[in-house]
Homo-oligomer: A and B are copies of this chain.
């Protein structure tokens, strides 16, 4: 797990800290402070911050400084709109290109996820990662490099951050799992059109929940 360069290491470290909320949204990031804290000089730190800015997790203002981005519900909704369209595409492509091994692995993810729901039905972290694993696997199977990079590297970090911030168990874990299973079946039958449709509907349902949630309940 050794990163080959300090920038990579620091970037990963800060990314995780921000996503998990260890560094709070809107918190100011002072370069000298952070660099001494992390035991490096300002050079690499600046490059890491720059990268976080590109990934939209940090906002920089010239000559003023950097701060962690905030969270607002509207943005999350916008993200989900995009996911609806990109992940349905991912399903369409995955149905064509997915290897049998990948399909098998996807099934295993579902089984694990179900077991998590039964066993430790309150573990937020595990539950979230189980959910995301399913989506990740499909995206990877699409074979579209841009799609993979956009969704996994950019959108999903932000989605994870939101979920940590809202610190709520997802509203409908059981139903979500069932929808996952349907999508899986469609993929098994190589029915890209159906899988695509189901995925779109799956994410749209989640978005609807968001839209109907009042600010105070969620954020």
Contact = CB atoms under 8 A, between A and B. Distances in A.
Interface of A: 4-5, 7-8, 43, 46-47, 50-51, 54-56, 62-63, 75, 78-79, 81-82, 84-86, 88-89, 93, 144-147, 149-150, 154-155
B89 A88 contact: no
A82 B51 contact: no
Residue from A55, A63, A84, A147 with most neighbouring chain B CB atoms (10 Å): A147
A5 to B, nearest CB: 5
Contact of A150 (B5, B7, B51, B150): B150
Contact of A46 (B47, B144, B146): B47
Contacts of A47: 46-47, 50
Is chain A's binding surface mostly helix, strand, loop or mixed? helix
26 contacts: A4-B63, A5-B62, A8-B62, A50-B51, A51-B54, A56-B149, A75-B145, A75-B146, A78-B144, A78-B145, A78-B147, A79-B146, A81-B89, A81-B93, A81-B144, A81-B147, A82-B144, A82-B147, A82-B150, A85-B85, A85-B86, A85-B88, A86-B86, A146-B155, A150-B150, A150-B154
